[in-house]
Amino acid sequence: MWRWLAPGVLLISAIVGCGQEPVPGSNAAVGGLHGPVRSVRSEYFDHQGTAAGKPTGSLLFIYDAKGYLLDEYRYEPDGSEQSHTKYTRKDWQVLKTENTSVLPHENRTYVTKYNDKGNPTGSEAFDGDGKLVEKTQNEPPKETGNTVVLTTNKTKADGTVSVERTEERMDAATGITRQTVTEDGKPKSDWLIQRDKDGNVVSDAIRMSNGSFNESLKGRMGPC
Instruction: State residue 178's pLDDT score.
Output: 96
pLDDT of residue 218: 61
Measure the CA–CA gap between 216 and 193, rounded to whole angstroms.
10
Query: What's the pLDDT tens digit per position in 125-182?
Result: 999 999 999 999 999 999 999 999 999 999 999 999 999 999 999 998 898 999 999 9
What per-residue confidence (pLDDT) applies to 215?
A: 80
Q: How far is CA 142 from CA 1, 29, 121, 122, 196, in A?
A: 32, 27, 14, 16, 25
Predicted confidence at residue 26, as pLDDT, reads 78
C-alpha–C-alpha distance, residues 224 and 219, integer Å? 13
Position 18 pLDDT exceeds 80 = no
Sequence-ordered list of residues with C-beta below 8 angstroms from that of 101, at least 6 positions apart, any chain: 82, 83, 84, 107
How much of the chain, in percent, has pLDDT values that exceed 70? 83
Q: Which residue has the higher pLDDT, 211 or 186?
A: 186
What pLDDT is recorded for position 14?
Answer: 52
Res 5: pLDDT: 37
pLDDT on residue 19:
52
User: For residues 215 and 193, is the Cβ–Cβ distance under 8 A?
Assistant: no
Q: What is the pLDDT of residue 11?
A: 46
| pTM to 2 decimal places | 0.74
Determine the Cα–Cα distance for residues 188 and 170; give it in Å rounded to an integer.
Answer: 19
pLDDT at residue 50 in the model = 67
Quick count: other Cβ atoms within 10 Å of Cβ 103? 9
Condensed to tens digits (0 to 9), the pLDDT of residues 46-99 reads 767 666 678 888 999 999 989 899 999 999 999 999 999 999 999 999 999 999
What is residue 13's predicted lDDT score, i.e. its pLDDT? Answer: 53
The pLDDT score that the predictor gives to residue 224 is: 38
CB 133 within 8 A of CB 156: yes
- Confidence band of 116 (pLDDT split at 50, 70, 90): very high
pLDDT tens digits, 103-114: 999 999 999 999
